[in-house]
């Protein structure tokens, strides 16, 4: 068992931290206030290779191990959870699914521009009537000559209005009377793609989320991703990977909440003392820090199993479940330590408190993670 990061991982983590402090941190408040997609920052991240972290060099990426992506997401989440989720979806869901399941032609067409940040990718699985119950999706694709014609509505798509391309899922008749989910690469400019709504969200304001209507959307047959009828497998495998990224996002935000709480506790006075001198506050800080370490270890372990080619689905769900629930507890305590000022937009903890609320919801709710974990445990008994 080795708890040390490799030299390459340490160097990458330091490089991302430096970039985040210099190029992201100063812009976060304005981007969040304006609900602005961080296009310019993504361009700079691409220059550093950080949008091509799941893409091999033959397609102009810098493919690293999976843990390095996790470290990157953790560092960026410390300053901007919004930017972290955009990168997570682009890397673990869009690029990775094309790299793993795409044809040679699809890899050559989509991966180099994705690595260079010329296209940002999204992942549109959820529908207005089907989130957790992804096997109940309604979107349909019908073959018509050289095209598939897609109809349906995709909801809650991270980067949906800003991404140049996205992976989506629709039912296709694979034999008479049998419909199975299949996966497609859609370009935003394909005929029939409509951005039908931008969600007004509680947090993550610089990660705009959209609803996309597919109305007789014309998709060339070569844009079918992977085998016909294998969409559910593609979606669930890629989500296993990206759930570890949400664990990392939770750890990065939690670390920031803890540091904000410590900073505040050391300067705020009450009853003639700094509040950090009260044991109740000290115990809360100890509790927060312990939760962060536990979430970090679960997250790194799931990433390490993935890197070693071992099964990691249960561990990915455990990491996501624990770290995202912990982030909510931590941000609650950190805000509490700020007292009334924590309820004010003047203090960062107010934004953190809103941002963390989505962590136990997206990429599979905490209830769904518990289902995944218990199914793994019960199947062998």
Ligand X SMILES: Cc1cc2nc3c(=O)[nH]c(=O)nc-3n(C[C@H](O)[C@H](O)[C@H](O)COP(=O)(O)OP(=O)(O)OC[C@H]3O[C@@H](n4cnc5c(N)ncnc54)[C@H](O)[C@@H]3O)c2cc1C
Stretch that binds ligand X, among 56-64, 126-134, 241-249, 250-258 (CB under 6 A): 126-134
Residue 59 has φ and ψ, to the nearest 5°, of -115, 25
In angstroms, give the least distance from the CB of 14 to ligand X: 30
Give me 313's structure tokens.
């689905």
Residue pair 332/287 in contact (Cβ under 8 Å)? The answer is no
By the rule CB under 6 A, 156 interacts with ligand X: yes
The residues near 295 (Cβ < 8 Å, ≥ 6 apart) are 247, 250, 251, 254, 319, 322, 323, 326, 327
- Ramachandran area for residue 274 (φ above 0: left; ψ -120 to 50: alpha; else beta): beta
CB of 155 to ligand X, least distance (A): 7
| 367 touches ligand X (CB under 6 A) | yes
Q: Does 123 bind ligand X (CB under 6 A)?
A: yes
Q: What angle do CA 114, 120, 123 make, to 5 degrees?
A: 110
Least distance (Å) between residue 169 CB and ligand X: 9
The one segment of 49-57, 124-132, 297-305, 340-348 that binds ligand X by CB under 6 A: 124-132
Of 131, 208, 245, 295, the one binding ligand X (CB under 6 A) is: 131
The answer to whether 365 contacts ligand X (rule: CB under 6 A) is yes
Q: Judged by CB under 6 A, how many residues of this single chain contact ligand X?
A: 24
Residue with smaller CB distance to ligand X, 49 or 121: 121
Residue 89 binds ligand X (CB under 6 A): yes
**What DSSP character marks residue 329?**
H
Which tokens hold the place of 343? 């309820």
Query: Which residue blocks in 89-162 are alpha helix, DSSP H?
Result: 96-101, 104-115
Assess whether 363 carries a catalytic annotation. yes
Residue corresponding to tokens 């609803």 = 211
Query: Least distance to ligand X from the beta carbon of 33, Å?
Result: 18
Asked if 184 is part of the footprint of ligand X (rule: CB under 6 A), the reply reads no
Query: How many CA atoms are closer than 13 Å to the CA of 231, on its beta-carbon side?
Result: 29
Binding mask 301-340 for ligand X (x = CB under 6 A): ----------------------------------------
Cα dihedral 245, 246, 250, 252 sign: positive
Active site residues: 363
Contact footprint for ligand X (CB under 6 A): 89, 122-126, 131-133, 156-158, 201, 204, 209, 358, 361-365, 367-368, 371
């Amino acid at each position: 068992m080795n708890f040390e990061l490799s030299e390459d991982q340490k160097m990458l983590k330091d490089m991302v931290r430096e970039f985040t402090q210099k190029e992201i941190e100063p812009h976060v408040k304005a981007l969040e206030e304006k609900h602005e997609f961080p296009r310019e920052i993504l361009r700079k991240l691409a220059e550093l290779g950080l949008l091509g972290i799941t893409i091999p060099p033959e397609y102009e990426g810098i493919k690293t191990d999976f843990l390095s992506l996790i470290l990157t997401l953790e560092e960026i989440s410390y300053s901007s959870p919004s930017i972290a989720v955009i990168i997570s979806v682009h890397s673990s869901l869009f690029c990775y699914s094309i790299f793993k399941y795409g044809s040679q032609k699809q890899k050559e067409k989509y991966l180099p521009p994705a690595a260079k940040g010329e296209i940002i990718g999204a992942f549109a699985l959820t529908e207005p009537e089907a989130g957790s119950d992804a096997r109940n999706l309604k979107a349909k694709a019908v073959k018509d000559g050289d095209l598939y014609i897609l109809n349906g509505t995709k909801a809650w798509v991270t980067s949906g209005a800003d991404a140049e391309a996205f992976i989506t899922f629709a039912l296709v008749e694979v034999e008479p009377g049998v419909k199975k989910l299949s996966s497609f690469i859609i370009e935003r400019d394909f005929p029939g793609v409509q951005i039908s709504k931008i969600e007004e969200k509680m947090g993550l304001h610089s990660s705009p989320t959209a609803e996309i209507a597919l109305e007789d959307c014309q998709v060339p047959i070569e844009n079918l991703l992977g085998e016909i009828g294998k969409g559910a497998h593609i979606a669930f495998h890629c989500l296993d990977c990206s759930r570890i990224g949400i664990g990392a996002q939770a750890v990065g935000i939690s670390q920031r909440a803890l540091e904000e709480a410590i900073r505040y506790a050391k300067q705020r006075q009450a009853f003639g003392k700094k509040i950090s001198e009260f044991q109740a506050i000290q115990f809360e800080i100890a509790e927060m820090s312990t939760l962060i370490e536990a979430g970090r270890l679960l997250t790194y372990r799931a990433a390490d199993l993935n890197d070693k080619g071992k099964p990691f689905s249960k561990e990915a769900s455990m990491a996501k479940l624990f770290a995202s629930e912990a982030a909510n507890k931590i941000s609650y305590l950190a805000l509490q330590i700020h007292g009334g000022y924590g309820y004010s937009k003047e203090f960062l903890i107010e934004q953190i408190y809103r941002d963390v609320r989505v962590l136990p919801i997206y990429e599979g709710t905490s209830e769904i993670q518990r289902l995944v974990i218990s199914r793994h445990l019960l199947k062998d008994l």
